[in-house]
Amino acid sequence: MKIASFNINGIKARINALADWLDEAQPDVAVLQEIKSVDEAFPSEIFEDRGYNVATHGQKSFNGVAIIAKCPLEDIVRGLPGDDADEQARWIEATVTGDHGAIRVCGLYLPNGNPAPGPKYDYKLGWMARLEARARALLAEEMPALMAGDYNIIPQPEDAARPEAWAEDALFLPQSRAAFHRVLNLGFTEAFRARHAGPGHYSFWDYQAGAWQKNNGIRIDHILLTPQAADLMQDCRIDRDIRGREKPSDHVPIWVDLAV
């Protein structure tokens, strides 16, 4: 089962690029971030025409996440637990079942947090504390599960072409990275790093200042696997070339192949 994550930076602006990617990559499941659409306006037909079931958790203008799957989406939950006052649509999860069993799939769009320090950074750290709580509960289930999405975290210096440029940024501050590693160290496997070592692997390139042409990228889209899911991993890749296409998102897809 191929499970992908893709921050599409606006569903309306990405319909053609997204349709092309779906036709080629053929993920069985995908979590999408930054749909920037309310649920009622989400163009589900481009997915349904290709045999996907769709669940969205959107809001007006900003954020918004979705999950699509060629199999049924069961037990859909919208919103990250822990703060009933949080109105930002950044979390969705559902259970999908393949030929060899079920897996819980969580899609997330972690807050950017800039400028730091400030209220946006406080929100990021608070959100990550809630993520840690949900992560602990997932591990306690002792079943195949994953948390995939735009984490807005550069885990290590090798995950940025120019780490010095990010020293004061909310994506790379020690406190941000520590919060990410606290979640990871609960017992998750970071799928990409379990299979690919070394620098030069990125999932985001800024639209500005020729970042793509200079390969000035960062790796901020991640897939975290529970031990039961990690045992099933067969592959994990970043679809880098997507960034060079017509009207691209500033992120590219990352995906895992699991023997589910």
Contact by Cβ (8 Å): 112, 250: no
Of 62, 137, 199, 227, which lies in the binding site for DNA, with binding defined by CB under 7 A? Answer: 62
Indicate which residue of 52, 159, 251, 257 is catalytic: 251
In the list 98, 107, 111, 144, the residue contacting DNA (rule: CB under 7 A) is 111
- Told to judge if 109 belongs to the known catalytic residues of this protein, a careful annotator would answer yes
- Smallest distance from the beta carbon of 165 to DNA, in angstroms? 8
Type of residue numbered 245: R
Q: Is 12 in the site for DNA (CB under 7 A)?
A: yes
Binding residues for DNA restricted to 191-250, rule: CB under 7 A: 204, 206-209, 218, 220, 247, 250
Residue length of the chain: 260
Can you give the C-alpha Rg of the chain in angstroms?
17
Known binder of ligand: residue 251? yes
Q: Is 53 in the site for DNA (CB under 7 A)?
A: no
- Provide, rounded to whole angstroms, the least separation between the CB of residue 79 and DNA: 17
Q: Which of 152, 6, 136 is nearest to 82 (CA)?
A: 136
CB 101 within 8 A of CB 82: no
DSSP 215: T
Residue 222 marked in a binding site: no
- DSSP 3-state assignment of 112? coil
CA dist 10 and 248 (Å) reads 11
* 239 marked among binding-site residues: no
Query: What does the block give as tokens for 73?
Result: 């989406």
150 has catalytic annotation = yes
Minimum gap (Å) between residue 7 Cβ and DNA = 6
Q: Give the per-residue contact string, 142-161, with DNA (x = CB under 7 A; - = no).
A: --------x-x---------
Where in the sequence numbering do the catalytic residues fall? 109, 150, 251
